[in-house]
């Protein structure tokens, strides 16, 4: 009978260990989810601030062009927004930026990438 009691105690100890492991996993998942939500919230606030700045910096035609660019290449549009904010903070552009001025800024950004050459050795 002692083996049955020993087996029962071992089984109970195993259940408790497993329950503790599951509890730790759930806590870790909850922490990861909270961190991801916080990061998402910060990114959303940054994006909202950029969009608000674009309303101040760009004319409606230029904002429309930037929106079209974001549909094609969101990263390029985000880079452009950050560049415009930087130029505005440095007072290197006049407000509001027209569509023609935005085209020139886009061309200068694209030109710097096109000028790169690859040499084969």
Token representation of residue 96: 């509001």
Beta strand extents in the chain (DSSP E only)? none
**Which pTM was predicted?**
0.63
Q: Tens digits of per-residue pLDDT, 72-107?
A: 999 989 988 998 999 889 988 888 889 999 898 888
Tokens standing for 9?
């105690």
pLDDT band at 114 (very low <50, low <70, confident <90, very high): low
* pLDDT of 24 over the 60 cut: yes
């Amino acid at each position: 009978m002692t083996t049955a009691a020993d087996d029962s105690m071992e089984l109970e100890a195993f259940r408790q260990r497993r329950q503790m492991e599951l509890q730790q996993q759930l806590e870790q998942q909850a922490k990861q989810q909270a961190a991801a939500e916080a990061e998402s919230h910060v990114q959303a606030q940054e994006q909202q601030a950029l969009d608000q700045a674009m309303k101040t910096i760009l004319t409606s035609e230029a904002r429309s062009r930037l929106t079209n660019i974001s549909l094609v290449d969101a990263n390029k549009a985000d880079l452009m927004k950050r560049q415009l904010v930087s130029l505005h903070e440095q007072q290197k552009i006049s407000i509001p930026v027209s569509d023609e001025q935005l085209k020139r800024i886009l061309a200068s950004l694209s030109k710097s990438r096109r000028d790169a050459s690859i040499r084969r050795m």
